[in-house]
Structure 1
Amino acid sequence: MHDHTHHHPPHGHRHDDSMADLLDLDAEIHRTYFEELLDRVAGGLTRRPGTVVDIGAGTGAGTLALARRFPDAQLVALDLSTDMLGRLRRAADHNGFADRVRTVEVDLDAGLPDVGSVDLAWAALSLHHIEDPDTLLRQLFEAMEPGGTVVVTEMESQPRFLPDDIGIGTPGLEARCHEAAASRGWNTYPDWSDNLHRAGFEVMEKRHDELGVEVDETARRYAHAMLSRTRSGLADVLATEDLDTLDRLVAHGPESVLHRTDLSVRGSRTVWIARAAKEDS
């Protein structure tokens, strides 16, 4: 069974609490961006969605954002991880959405489960983990109401936190980490426009968004968590000096990202918004 049905950060595929925490931190620091994205999506809908499907829901940050933005919709959250879905259900209950959120544990490589008639589908950082995305998109198209919308987002590059020269180790650490991850096929995905067209969707918009957030305690925790996973995930490919530098960055001393004054949080997303171009039955 493949770990393909929830989005996750680079360098590791474990279903563990640290990854879940990282997903939640990512959602927290980018909450304003995703709320603005949902507003843009909502502005292009032909009607209020009745059923919204979150493909690769993870810990449910996207599911909850969709529930807030579309208060009349029923949400179906799909993921492979029992632990992630349990965390999602607890969060939905805590936020008062338990009666509108249904979780389905599923390996999407085996196909789309019965989700009923879909008005809006959300695939955030998840579609590239599917072994046969064309089949999944065709199944999604068949489940779509005429004029239904699918939104796909991908991370264009790994988050960037540090300047080239951080005063310890050899300059260019972060670039070397990103190169090492790329050599292992991290986050490889195509331009989903062609796949969406083949499935029957009409791509209404494709856009590139640069993300930057204010450095606060949450952003520092996010950087610490990301670099910690980088350290563990690339331990067998990075030079000893770079591993030592990462150890100092994720420790709790003055050189740690928890305390550095040169820390920043930058990233990017590509977004595809497509519509099910089919006639009303």
Structure 2
Amino acid sequence: MTAAGSHAALMDGVYRRQRHIYDATRKYYLLGRDSMIAGLRAPDGGTVLELGCGTGRNLVLAARRYPKARFFGLDISTAMLETAARAVAQDGAGPRVKLAQGDATAFNAQALFGEAGFDRVFVSYSLSMIPGWEKTIAAALAVLKPGGSLHIVDFGRQERLPAWFKRLLRAWLAKFHVTPRDAMAEVLESESRKAHASLSFRSLFRGYAVHAVVTRPA
């Protein structure tokens, strides 16, 4: 089995049951998602891709907020995609949302979605679950249209939180195969330089989370 296939099987196993309660439980600690969606500012007629779309929760909210944009969701877990498809259909956003199964570290957007590039790409609390997550950042920047932007929210270093809280949080996250990416800022800086893109990087909630925006030149 390939590394991508192994990770897909792991994610299906982890979320086959959890997907049914995922959104109800995660809203208490996946902080910053809604403000990230608000900051997308998707243009009318634009295209928006979410990498690691999970249950479709973010895609549904983004489709409501930007009714004239088209949305695309990629996830490696077929179990999560089943839940996402139901969420999108129930919300009535189906005609504007296309979902596909794939590896966020290496995907062919044209083959999966019929789109060569996107005006916006966003990744919400998925990099901390993706082996080789650095490749996801590079892949996301590669499919951004000129003037487009990549938006990321995920766990931070918890640098301004009590040490005991950081230890407990990371031990608990590890049970769900989640690892905060402490090198996030450095990797984003490096990839932004390669793409000649600008980077905005903010630490949220005393380091609990981070919010980054990478913008390609027009």
TM-score of the superposition, structure 2-length normalised? Answer: 0.74
Aligned to 1:68: 64
Aligned to 2:203: 208
Percent of aligned pairs sharing the same letter:
19
Aligned to 1:96: 92
Distance 2:145 2:129 in 1: 25
Three-state SS of the structure 1 residue aligned to 2:121 is: strand
Which structure dedicates a bigger proportion of its chain to helix?
A: 2
Can you list the C-alpha shifts for 1:149-208, whole angstroms capped at 9, x where unaligned?
Answer: 1001111279xxxxxxxxxxxxx7x66644645889851311242243144153442112
Q: Which has the larger radius of gyration?
A: 1
Q: State the superposition RMSD in angstroms.
A: 3.7
Distance 1:25 1:180 in 2: 21
**Count of equivalent residues:** 203
Letter in 2 for 1:187: T
Three-state SS of the structure 2 residue aligned to 1:138 is: helix
Over 3 Å counting, the alpha-carbon distance change for 1:3 and 1:198 in structure 2 is farther
Aligned to 2:24: 25
Match of 1:270 among 190, 194, 210: 210
TM-score of the superposition, structure 1-length normalised? Answer: 0.59
Is contact 2:122-2:152 (8 Å) kept?
A: yes
Can you list the C-alpha shifts for 1:52-92, whole angstroms capped at 9, x where unaligned?
Answer: 10100110111112111211111111001111111111111
Distance 1:76 1:5 in 2: 22
Q: Which runs of 5+ in 2 are unaligned?
A: 159-163
Aligned to 2:142: 142
Aligned to 1:218: none
Distance 1:33 1:134 in 2: 21
**Residue 95 (structure 1) shift:** 0.6
Distance 2:200 2:9 in 1: 24
Is contact 1:121-1:149 (8 Å) kept?
A: yes
Aligned to 1:41: 40
Is contact 1:56-1:77 (8 Å) kept?
A: yes
Is contact 2:105-2:135 (8 Å) kept?
A: no
Distance 2:17 2:80 in 1: 9
Q: Does 1:3 align with 2:2?
A: no
Of structures 1 and 2, the one scoring higher in RCO (CA 8 A, sep 6+) is 1
Distance 1:198 1:129 in 2: 25
Distance 2:9 2:209 in 1: 19
